[in-house]
Amino acid sequence: MSKINISIIETSNASILKFEANIFLTQYESFEFNNIDEAKSSPLAQQLFYLPFVKKIYISGNFIAIERYDIVAWEDVQEEVSSQIETYLNEGGIVVETNNTAIKKTAVTVYAESTPNPSVIKFVANKKLVPTMFEFTSIDQAKSSPFAIKLFHFPFVKNVFIDENYVSVTKYDIAEWNDITMELREFIKSYIESGDPIILADTPEFKKNTEAKKEAHFETLDDTSKDIVNILNEYVKPAVASDGGNIEFQSYDANTKIVKVILQGACSGCPSSTFTLKNGIENMLKEMLKGKISSVEAING
């Protein structure tokens, strides 16, 4: 067997260094350990946690990424760590015992994105969270979501909107994003890693929001309303979803030709939502459904 070599690779985060091997260390799995107790399934990670400056260990593919505490600089210890990993691997040490019943995590990443609404930040995960969108404007509304309930325990959280792989959080003005974004990101990441449910599947809110229910409701609409829904779905929703929001069709009055919509997530309360509504959506509907639309109004705008 050829010798295993370790290369030291810097990352964009000065606290994190990658130790890259010339072989694969794991097969199609990633592992993240925050302390020695979590690392029971990884003898290598446990050994590394005995180094007093090791804060977190991430193992994936052919590398081990280590986050350090600020008590040392990497240039003072990186060669020692590299040598320790290299020696361990060449002596046939086990990286991760995949059949171990100890804690094993598929790594979850969450990053924060700003939105056009200064009161809303979008937290994007690398895995699907919900099958369809949910919005909660208070802790009382969030009974179907243990995740949202915990978010509302933060005193600055005003609104929670969850869709696909992201969560849009609206804050009260008592807090600044610079002070709370990291705290929220870490909480969301930890919650997803825990495997606890985002939404309870046996609740009325979940059943009401299923695609089957939405399709059944769609079939009850008149032809113009169906056209409006289809236009919103194709041309509007993808754009606003990228900004952490959603626009939901509410109603169409054939007599007044007024379309009413619900603004959700980052769209709700956004300073630019009126402009988007009038100059974007309203003009589009008027152009595509000539003579059938007089105006578009947000019932919560």
Angle at 256 between CA 254 and CA 262, to 5 degrees: 80
Per-residue 3-state assignment (H helix, E strand, C coil) for 266-285 = CCCCCCCHHHHHHHHHHHHH
pLDDT of 104 higher than 50 = no
CA pair distance 96, 112, nearest whole angstrom: 30
Categorize the per-residue pLDDT at 78 as very low, low, confident or very high, splitting at 50, 70 and 90.
very high
pLDDT digits (tens, 9 = 90+) for 147-163: 999 999 999 999 999 98
Query: Phi and psi (nearest 5°) for 46?
Result: -60, -40
Categorize the per-residue pLDDT at 101 as very low, low, confident or very high, splitting at 50, 70 and 90.
very low
pLDDT of 301 higher than 60 = no
Q: What is the Cβ-side half-sphere exposure of residue 295, based on CA atoms within 13 angstroms?
A: 6
Q: Which amino acid is it at 129?
A: L
> How many C-beta neighbours within 10 Å does residue 113 have?
15
Answer yes or no: are the C-beta atoms of 237 and 247 closer than 8 Å.
yes
pLDDT value, residue 243: 73
pLDDT digits (tens, 9 = 90+) for 7-26: 999 888 889 999 998 888 88
Q: Measure CA 61 to chain center.
A: 23
Categorize the per-residue pLDDT at 66 as very low, low, confident or very high, splitting at 50, 70 and 90.
very high
Average pLDDT over residues 219-243: 84
Q: Can you read off the two tokens belonging to residue 276? A: 């988007």
CA pair distance 188, 274, nearest whole angstrom: 31
pLDDT of 191 higher than 70 = yes
Categorize the per-residue pLDDT at 102 as very low, low, confident or very high, splitting at 50, 70 and 90.
very low
CA pair distance 237, 243, nearest whole angstrom: 10
Average pLDDT over residues 215-226: 81
**Which residue blocks in the chain are alpha helix, DSSP H?**
43-49, 74-90, 146-152, 177-194, 204-208, 211-218, 223-231, 237-241, 273-275, 283-288
CATH assignment of 221-298, among 3.30.300.130, 3.30.1180.10, 3.40.50.2020, 3.60.21.10: 3.30.300.130
- Torsion over CA of 268, 270, 274 and 276, rounded to 10 degrees? -100
Domain layout of the chain by residue ranges: 6-90, 110-206, 221-298
Q: Which residue has the higher pLDDT, 272 or 289?
A: 289
Q: Can you read off the two tokens belonging to residue 124? A: 């994007």
Homologous superfamily assigned to 110-206? Scaffold protein Nfu/NifU, N-terminal domain (3.30.1370.70)
> How many C-beta neighbours within 10 Å does residue 176 have?
10
pLDDT digits (tens, 9 = 90+) for 107-138: 788 989 888 889 999 999 888 888 888 889 99
Q: What is the Cβ-side half-sphere exposure of residue 106, based on CA atoms within 13 angstroms?
A: 8
Per-residue 3-state assignment (H helix, E strand, C coil) for 17-71 = EEEEECCCCCCCCEEEECCCCHHHHCHHHHHHHCCCCEEEEEEECCEEEEEECCC
Homologous superfamily assigned to 6-90? Scaffold protein Nfu/NifU, N-terminal domain (3.30.1370.70)
Q: Which residues of 210-230 are buried (b: 16+ CB within 10 A; e: fewer)?
A: eeeeeeeeeeeeeebbebbbe
Same CATH topology for 110-206 and 221-298?
no
pLDDT of 94 higher than 60 = yes
Average pLDDT over residues 201-223: 69
